[in-house]
């Protein structure tokens, strides 16, 4: 019959179509390719507040200060700074002979322009302004000196100047080309300059030889936007990207097993807790809250669900965070004692504990299920309520409509407990729908006015201790930042906050 030849021909054609394909091209020498999840759409520092922006932007731009993977604050475009007029004025000496990628000189006017823009109408449209509201305005003293005139004290400011909205932008370029052009053709003073950008696909950078800290070692850095974690890992395994930034815990072993790749798992900024309802339900009683903490084996959850990529916490911050107290230990897991405490508090067996959580987080869903298992073992009746994240964050939490416990995940790039603690525990804040504690408020307000590092640290530690004492939350864990990295990368220092800076990296 004739058809059989057709069939043969078809299968032959299919085989022939696949055969001549060259293997996917390997990485060019001197080029590093990184996969990020989201395209911010604009590379202007003040338009968004996305980690993926900073993974790219930290290579294009510089701040007055800088902070690398070691978490130490270093001089950036400013070489030194001093506090004047009773801390109401901070004077920065600027680095000389620095150029933007377009040749424009960096000077005091550029700093003033950057902050006028951030604090003015342009900044108002984006999410960055509120981070810098403590600054009243910037004054030019001479071409290489600026004064930051403060509206209120802000001890975290120097850290905040190292990233995101405080990155210095070129005034002449922006005035000539306009804001919209700048969004897709960014120019900064950083080690890599912008080459091309294809929305939702990739952004390409190349070395800026005149960078003030010396020519970077790589020729090119390419960032590809790949949202799906599985796809990032496939690209990594195929050798087409060098760094994958989306590695779910469950897929970490896949990367670990591959001989060409290494899995990097380091302390990250994200902390996770179950915040407790102090107004309604059995969690009204501080002893019950403590019993719930002791009844949940957090170490076991980290081992089983996070596959070990996390650490137990005693307060809502990572150990890298300013305000962390190594002497504050988490309450131990002790089921018998927890049961006894519940009994003493008069909690009836089968009392309900509802856990509200962000339904899109697969990992936390498992964590919540494990926690519910432990609560059940305490004789309680746990239930899980998943929500669409915006509904939970904009309605359920701020309006005090939660169950006994809710999912709190937090991770500030500043690694300063101030930001977290103030928003979480100060009266009237959106994340704090149930408590009004004048003592805690006073502590939180006081530390905001103190520049003395030691004294402020002590106060923040006191806040953490107080919160732990009141058992406002069940601190669960600090989860690691995980990268999958091709072994051909040398001198790669992984940043906890994913703000890469490829100045010293080389490739084989």
Partner 1 sequence: MAGFIFKRLLQAIFVILAVTLIVSFAIRLSGDPAVMLAGGSNITEKDLQNIRQALGLERPFIVQYLTFLKGLLVGDFGRSFMGGTSVSLLISKALPATLLLAFTSLLISILLSVPLGVYAAVNRGRWPDQLIRIVSLVGLSFPNFWLAIMMVLFFSITLGLLPPSGMEGPESFIMPALTMAIILTATNVRLVRTSMLETLSQQYIMVARSKGLRDRVVLYKHALRNSAIPLVTYIGLQFGGLVGGIVIVERVFNWPGMGTLAFDAISGRDYPVLQGTITVLALFIVLINLMVDIAYGLIDPRIRTE
Cβ proximity to partner 1, 94 vs 263, nearer residue: 263
Cβ proximity to partner 1, 303 vs 430, nearer residue: 430
Backbone conformation region of residue 415, classed left if phi is above 0, alpha if psi is from -120 to 50, else beta: left
Closest by CA to 375, choosing from 305, 283, 307, is 283
Could you tell me the two tokens for 58?
A: 């930290």
The answer to whether residue 388 forms part of the interface with partner 1 (CB under 8 A) is yes
Residues 174-233 that bind partner 1 (CB under 8 A): 180, 183-184, 198-201, 224-228, 230-231
Residues 14-33 that bind partner 1 (CB under 8 A): 17-18, 21, 23-24
- Provide, rounded to whole angstroms, the least separation between the CB of residue 409 and partner 1: 8
**Binder among 33, 45, 46, 47 for partner 1 (CB under 8 A):** 47
- Provide, rounded to whole angstroms, the least separation between the CB of residue 146 and partner 1: 24
β-strands 145-150, 89-94 pairing: antiparallel
Residues 58-87, mask of contacts with partner 1 (x by CB under 8 A): ------------------------------
Closest by CA to 387, choosing from 364, 353, 420, 371, is 364
Q: Which stretch binds partner 1 (CB under 8 A): 2-10, 72-80, 138-146, 309-317?
A: 2-10
Q: How far apart are CA 104 and CA 106, in angstroms?
A: 7
Q: How far apart are CA 261 and CA 252, in angstroms?
A: 11
The answer to whether residue 487 forms part of the interface with partner 1 (CB under 8 A) is no
490 membership: H or E segment, kind and range: strand 489-490
**Binder among 394, 399, 427, 449 for partner 1 (CB under 8 A):** 394
Cβ proximity to partner 1, 47 vs 473, nearer residue: 47
- Provide, rounded to whole angstroms, the least separation between the CB of residue 323 and partner 1: 15
Cβ proximity to partner 1, 126 vs 386, nearer residue: 126
The answer to whether residue 391 forms part of the interface with partner 1 (CB under 8 A) is yes
Strand residues in 43-152 grouped as ranges (E): 65-67, 73-75, 78-84, 89-94, 135-142, 145-150
Closest by CA to 61, choosing from 138, 169, 139, is 169
Spell out a b/e string for 268-282, using b for 16 or more CB atoms within 10 Å of the CB, else e: bbbbbbbbbbbeebb
Cβ proximity to partner 1, 107 vs 129, nearer residue: 129
**Binder among 34, 36, 40, 437 for partner 1 (CB under 8 A):** 40
- Provide, rounded to whole angstroms, the least separation between the CB of residue 170 and partner 1: 19
Burial class (CB in 10 A: 0-12, 13-18, 19+), 3: exposed
Q: Which stretch binds partner 1 (CB under 8 A): 244-252, 388-396, 438-446, 460-468?
A: 388-396
The answer to whether residue 390 forms part of the interface with partner 1 (CB under 8 A) is yes
Closest by CA to 36, choosing from 237, 221, 256, is 221
Q: How far apart are CA 493 and CA 68, in angstroms?
A: 9
The answer to whether residue 386 forms part of the interface with partner 1 (CB under 8 A) is no
The answer to whether residue 430 forms part of the interface with partner 1 (CB under 8 A) is yes
Judge contact between 209 and 220, C-beta under 8 A: no
Q: How far apart are CA 120 and CA 296, in angstroms?
A: 48
**Binder among 268, 310, 412, 475 for partner 1 (CB under 8 A):** 412
Q: How far apart are CA 286 and CA 334, in angstroms?
A: 17
Cβ proximity to partner 1, 238 vs 300, nearer residue: 238
Instruction: Give the other-Cβ count within 10 Å of 7's Cβ.
Output: 10
Cβ proximity to partner 1, 141 vs 238, nearer residue: 238
Cβ proximity to partner 1, 348 vs 449, nearer residue: 449
Cα dihedral across residues 285, 291, 295, 299: positive or negative: positive
Residues 306-345 that bind partner 1 (CB under 8 A): none
Q: How far apart are CA 313 and CA 464, in angstroms?
A: 11
Cβ proximity to partner 1, 285 vs 441, nearer residue: 441
The answer to whether residue 363 forms part of the interface with partner 1 (CB under 8 A) is no
The answer to whether residue 478 forms part of the interface with partner 1 (CB under 8 A) is no
422 membership: H or E segment, kind and range: helix 417-425
Judge contact between 237 and 28, C-beta under 8 A: no
Cβ proximity to partner 1, 178 vs 308, nearer residue: 178
- Provide, rounded to whole angstroms, the least separation between the CB of residue 201 and partner 1: 5
Count of residues that bind partner 1 according to CB under 8 A: 60
Cα dihedral across residues 231, 194, 127, 501: positive or negative: positive
**Binder among 140, 393, 450, 489 for partner 1 (CB under 8 A):** 393
The answer to whether residue 42 forms part of the interface with partner 1 (CB under 8 A) is yes
Judge contact between 117 and 123, C-beta under 8 A: yes
Closest by CA to 327, choosing from 161, 464, 454, is 464
Cβ proximity to partner 1, 48 vs 65, nearer residue: 48
Q: How far apart are CA 27 and CA 319, in angstroms?
A: 37
Residues 100-129 that bind partner 1 (CB under 8 A): 124-127, 129
Q: Which residues of this chain interact with partner 1, rule CB under 8 A?
A: 1-3, 6-7, 10, 17-18, 21, 23-24, 38-44, 47-51, 124-127, 129-131, 180, 183-184, 198-201, 224-228, 230-231, 234-235, 237-238, 240, 388-391, 393-394, 410, 412, 419, 423, 430
């Amino acid at each position: 019959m004739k058809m059989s030849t057709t069939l043969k021909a078809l299968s032959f054609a299919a085989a022939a179509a696949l055969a001549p394909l060259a293997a996917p091209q390997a990485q060019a020498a001197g080029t590093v390719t990184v996969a990020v999840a989201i395209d911010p759409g604009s590379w202007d520092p003040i338009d968004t507040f996305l980690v993926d922006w900073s993974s790219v932007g930290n290579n294009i731009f510089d701040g007055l200060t800088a902070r690398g993977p070691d978490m130490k604050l270093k001089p950036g475009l400013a070489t030194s700074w001093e506090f004047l007029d009773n801390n109401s004025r901070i004077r920065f000496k600027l680095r000389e002979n620095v150029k933007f990628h377009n040749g424009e000189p960096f000077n005091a006017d550029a700093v003033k322009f950057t902050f006028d823009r951030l604090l003015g109408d342009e900044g108002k449209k984006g999410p960055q302004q509120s981070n810098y509201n403590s600054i009243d305005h910037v004054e030019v003293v001479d071409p290489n000196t600026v004064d930051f005139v403060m509206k209120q004290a802000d001890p975290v400011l120097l850290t905040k100047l190292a990233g995101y909205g405080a990155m210095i932008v070129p005034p002449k370029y922006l005035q000539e080309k306009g804001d919209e052009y700048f969004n897709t053709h960014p120019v900064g003073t950083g080690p890599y300059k912008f080459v091309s950008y294809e929305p939702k696909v990739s952004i390409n950078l190349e070395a800026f030889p005149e960078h003030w800290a010396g020519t970077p070692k790589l020729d090119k850095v390419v960032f590809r936007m790949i949202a799906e974690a599985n796809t990032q890992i496939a690209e990594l395994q195929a050798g087409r990207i060098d760094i994958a930034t989306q590695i779910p815990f469950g897929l970490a072993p896949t990367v670990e097993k591959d001989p060409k790749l290494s899995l990097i798992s380091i302390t990250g900024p994200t902390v996770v807790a179950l915040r407790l309802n102090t107004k309604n339900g059995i969690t009204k009683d501080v002893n019950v809250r403590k019993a719930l903490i002791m009844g949940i084996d957090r170490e076991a959850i980290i081992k089983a669900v996070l596959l070990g990529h996390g650490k137990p916490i005693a307060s809502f911050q990572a150990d890298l965070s300013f305000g962390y107290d190594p002497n504050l230990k988490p309450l131990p897991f002790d089921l018998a004692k927890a049961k006894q405490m519940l009994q003493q508090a008069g909690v009836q067996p089968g009392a309900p504990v509802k856990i509200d959580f962000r339904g899109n987080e697969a990992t936390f869903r498992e964590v919540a299920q494990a926690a519910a298992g432990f609560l059940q073992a305490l004789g309680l009746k746990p239930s899980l309520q998943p929500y669409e994240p915006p509904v939970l964050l904009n309605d359920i939490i701020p309006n005090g409509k939660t169950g006994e416990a809710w999912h709190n995940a937090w991770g500030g790039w500043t690694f300063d407990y101030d930001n977290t603690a103030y928003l979480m525990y100060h009266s009237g804040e959106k994340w704090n729908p149930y408590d009004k504690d004048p003592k805690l408020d006073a502590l939180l307000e006081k530390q905001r006015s103190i520049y003395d590092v030691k004294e402020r640290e002590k106060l923040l530690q006191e806040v953490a201790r107080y919160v732990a004492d009141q058992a406002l939350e069940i601190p669960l864990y600090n989860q690691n930042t995980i990268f999958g990295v091709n072994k051909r990368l040398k001198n790669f220092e992984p940043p906890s906050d994913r703000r890469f800076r490829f100045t010293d990296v080389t490739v084989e």
